[in-house]
Amino acid sequence: MANSLEQSRPWFLYAVPLLVFLLIAFHVLALVYWIYRLSTDTKPQQQTLQQQIQQQQQQRRKAH
C-alpha cells in the first residue's frame, strides 16, 4: 500500500525539498554578501562623516 502511494505522487513533490534547500542556501549567501558589502563600505562613509564634522567645526571657528 505504501509503495502505491509513493508512486502516485506527482514529480514536483519530489523536487520540493531540493527547492527549499536551494532557497535557504541562496538567502544565506545573500546575507553573507550583504554583511561583506556592509563591512567594506562603512570605512569610506566614516571618513566622509569625519570630514563633514571637521568642516562644521571649522565653520563654527570662523563664525566666532
Residue ranges covered by each domain of the chain = 2-63
d(Cα 35, Cα 58) in Å, to the nearest integer?
35
Percent of the chain with pLDDT over 70: 80
pTM of the model: 0.51
The mean predicted confidence, pLDDT, of the chain is 84
42-57: pLDDT as tens digits: 555 566 778 888 888 8
DSSP state of 39: H
- What is the arithmetic mean of pLDDT over 1-11? 69
pLDDT score recorded for residue 64: 65
Higher pLDDT, 7 or 54: 54
Q: What b/e readout covers 20-59, taking b as 16+ CB neighbours within 10 angstroms?
A: eeeeeeeeeeeeeeeeeeeeeeeeeeeeeeeeeeeeeeee
Report phi then psi at 43, rounded to 5: -65, -50
pLDDT score recorded for residue 30: 98
